[in-house]
Structure 1
Amino acid sequence: MKTVNVSLQVLPTVPEERIYPVVDKVIEYIKSTGVKHIVGPMETTMEGDLDELMEIVKKAQTICVEAGASRVASVVKIDYKPEGVTMEEKVGKYQK
């Protein structure tokens, strides 16, 4: 499969002072996978194979629960086109 973009926002059900530490664990995991990603203020966008990125999304739920969340709501956005899509083509001109 061609390259896709998947954005993930996790919303763990934890006391407010625990939100950032739990989200940080998810971001640390994403970094550890080696996939290309951009951390934003509301979500993290990843680039790669759809199946691999969806496995990361699935694991992120478990990470939140293991970090103390009683529940996790997640927002997932997928940008797919048959020839592939990259973050560079969408936002590269703004990164320079």
Structure 2
Amino acid sequence: MHQHTVNLALQIVPQVASDKVYAVVDEAIAVIQSSGVKYRVCPFETVMEGPYDQLMDIVKRAQEVCFKAGAGQLLVYVKIQNNQHADVTIEDKTGKYDG
């Protein structure tokens, strides 16, 4: 796989008691925050920007911390925008909306 910058949207829905869902999701977001990649937390998913392999490693680690935080099962949704010849950035898509 090339090493252009891609965008990856990650949504993890943990199977835990309803009062623990946000705490488990916060653990996954902490993995993203500590990774050093550019990211944006949104209401339904977190979007990251970086090399494909690095982002996929973050996806793996985010799932692992959710299990360690008590999730018995996860629904994991990943969306990737990838361009063979150019970087894909968050700014290109949403920069005009930042006020």
Q: Which runs of 5+ in 2 are unaligned?
A: none
So what's the TM-score if we normalise by structure 1? 0.98
Q: Which runs of 5+ in 1 are unaligned?
A: none
Question: How many matched pairs?
Answer: 96
User: Structure 1, residues 10-33: CA drift from partner, whole Å, max 9, x if none?
Assistant: 011000000000001111111011
Q: What is the alpha-carbon distance in structure 1 between the residues aligned to residue 60 and residue 8 of structure 2? A: 12
Aligned to 2:32: 30
Aligned to 2:13: 11
1:49-60 map, 5 Å = 49-60=51-62
Counterpart residue type for residue 36 of structure 2: G
Show structure 1 runs of 4+ deviating over 4 A.
Answer: none
Aligned to 2:49: 47
The share of aligned pairs that are identical, in percent, is 48
Aligned to 1:87: 90
Counterpart residue type for residue 85 of structure 1: V
SS of 1:4's equivalent? strand
Q: What is the alpha-carbon distance in structure 2 between the residues aligned to residue 57 and residue 79 of structure 1? A: 15
User: Structure 1, residues 32-67: CA drift from partner, whole Å, max 9, x if none?
Assistant: 111100000000000000000000001111111000
Matched, 1:67 2:69: yes
So what's the TM-score if we normalise by structure 2? 0.95
Q: What is the alpha-carbon distance in structure 2 between the residues aligned to residue 95 and residue 2 of structure 1? A: 24
Q: What is the alpha-carbon distance in structure 1 between the residues aligned to residue 87 and residue 38 of structure 2? A: 15
SS of 1:37's equivalent? strand
